[in-house]
Amino acid sequence: MIDINLIRTNPELVKENIKKKFQDEKLKLVDEVKAFDEEARKLKQDVEQKRSERKKLSDEIGLLMREKKLDEANKQKEKVANINSQIEQSEKVLDELDEKIKERMLVIPNIMDKSVPIGEDDSKNVEIEKFGEPKVPSYEIPYNADILESFCGLDKESAGRTSGNGFYYLMGDAARLVSAMINYARDYMIEKGFIYVIPPFMIRSDVVTGVMSFAEMDAMMYKIEGEDLYLIGTSEHSMIGKFKGQILKENELPITMTSYSPCFRKEVGAHGIEERGIYRVHQFEKQEMIVICKPEDSMDWYNKMWKYTVEIFRNLNVPVRQLECCSGDLADLKVKSCDVEAWSPRQKKYFEVGSCSTLGDAQARRLGIRVKGENGNYFPHTLNNTVLASTRALIAVLENNYQEDGSILIPEVLQKYMGGKTKIEKK
């Protein structure tokens, strides 16, 4: 949510930002917010005048009562009662105006960073840099489900009976490999100075609307029937929500945390949810990182954070690239975002394994997170980044460490988490 002062002082900038995101249907919202805001400000001024008049009359009533001028005092009381009625009616209108303004402000997109490339959709995202040489071996790389089944590591048939499409059982070395990757990612972030956290896996609706757009919520979140609770789609949601309504001390910034959680996603409209493999599923595990910092430090943290993910995947023997998200592919709350994509030697192309974003002060503004600074309170910036998501990372590790005999070489950094094991053998 942007600062309403921006609409008051520079509505054309807000409109230009909307156009760059190819959301022209939202242009009218800027004019509506501006009109409602002007009406509300005039009404507030009128209410303040009435309150001042009421105070003056109340003082006069006290004086008249002391002088025993009861008739005059009663006439003044009638005026006060009339003013009270007017104030009550005005406050009702103000509440309605505030709600109209809030509804529109929540869907007006955040102001993008000037460096964001302009494009209609993800086909216009821009490759920035590659890390590691993408290779295609002379032998065939099987589909991820076939690799996993070759060493009895995947059972989607049973999961279909217990839970339906989009779920799975990981077993034996496959399950152990996922745990090894999550543990390695956790320890890597702790070594970088991040505090390890296991957060709540359910959050209330006011936290959901504070951390994401309505479109994202409808497409992603599972609602708990009969309760004001949602299953998290990523631990970023509950991690940022942890600071809801808080005033932080400036000397505590930056706050850097890394969190583990299962993640639950509806994947509404997603293609391939019926697929045999584990690329697009309803449930997976993830190690996440979040940063809350001063506004002037957010871009430095943004560049540090995506590079952490790159280093982790390179340590897993996976070539990756950084892909800058264009304006049309940027979620409304985000200022700037990039994807880290892993090389798939089977498909001979890259696929997304992580996403890094800076959201400016949008989440802090929605959730009422402030920092007490030397010159008054201000909203901090929030950032989030995928350290490692279990299923997609597993695909990347399997394909890039697959050997001609069907075995999987275990990356050196994971071997201590696998009991010293160096290879997963085909059964």
Q: What is the mean pLDDT of residues 155-168?
A: 92
356 located within any domain: yes
Could you tell me if 83 and 145 lie in one domain?
A: no
110 located within any domain: no
> Tell me: the pLDDT tens digits for 391-407?
999 999 999 999 999 99
pLDDT at 131 over 70: yes
Could you tell me if 131 and 99 lie in one domain?
A: no
185 located within any domain: yes
Closest to 332 (Cα-Cα) out of 6, 5, 10, 26: 26
Residue 136 pLDDT level (bands cut at 50, 70, 90): very high
DSSP letters of 162-222? HT-TT--EE-HHHHHHHHHHHHHHHHHHHHTTPEEE---SEE-HHHHHHHS-HHHHHHHPE
- HSE at residue 410, side-chain half, CA atoms within 13 A, is 22
The CATH number linked to 415 is: 3.30.930.10
Specify the pLDDT at position 60: 85
Specify the pLDDT at position 66: 85
- HSE at residue 338, side-chain half, CA atoms within 13 A, is 24
Asked if 371 and 250 touch (Cβ cutoff 8 Å), the reply is yes
pLDDT at 310 over 80: yes
Could you tell me if 194 and 230 lie in one domain?
A: yes
> Tell me: the pLDDT tens digits for 281-295?
999 999 999 999 999
Asked if 181 and 244 touch (Cβ cutoff 8 Å), the reply is no
Model pTM score: 0.89
114 located within any domain: no
Asked if 90 and 43 touch (Cβ cutoff 8 Å), the reply is yes
* Tally of domains in the chain: 2
253 located within any domain: yes
Residue 343 pLDDT level (bands cut at 50, 70, 90): very high
Could you tell me if 215 and 166 lie in one domain?
A: yes
Domain that holds residue 20: 4-105
Could you tell me if 8 and 61 lie in one domain?
A: yes
Measured torsion, CA atoms of residues 364, 369, 372, 373, in degrees rounded to the nearest 10? -10
Specify the pLDDT at position 274: 57
Could you tell me if 46 and 144 lie in one domain?
A: no
Mean predicted lDDT score pLDDT of the chain: 93
The residue length of the chain stands at 427
Residue 427 pLDDT level (bands cut at 50, 70, 90): confident
Q: Mean pLDDT lowest for which of 71-85, 157-171, 252-266, 330-344?
A: 71-85
Q: What is the mean pLDDT of residues 349-366?
A: 96
The proportion of the chain whose per-residue pLDDT surpasses 90, expressed as a percent, equals 83
113 located within any domain: no
pLDDT at 272 over 60: no
> Tell me: the pLDDT tens digits for 196-245?
999 999 999 999 989 887 667 777 889 999 999 999 999 999 999 999 99
Q: What is the mean pLDDT of residues 109-129?
A: 96
Q: What is the mean pLDDT of residues 25-54?
A: 94
Specify the pLDDT at position 214: 66
Could you tell me if 30 and 144 lie in one domain?
A: no
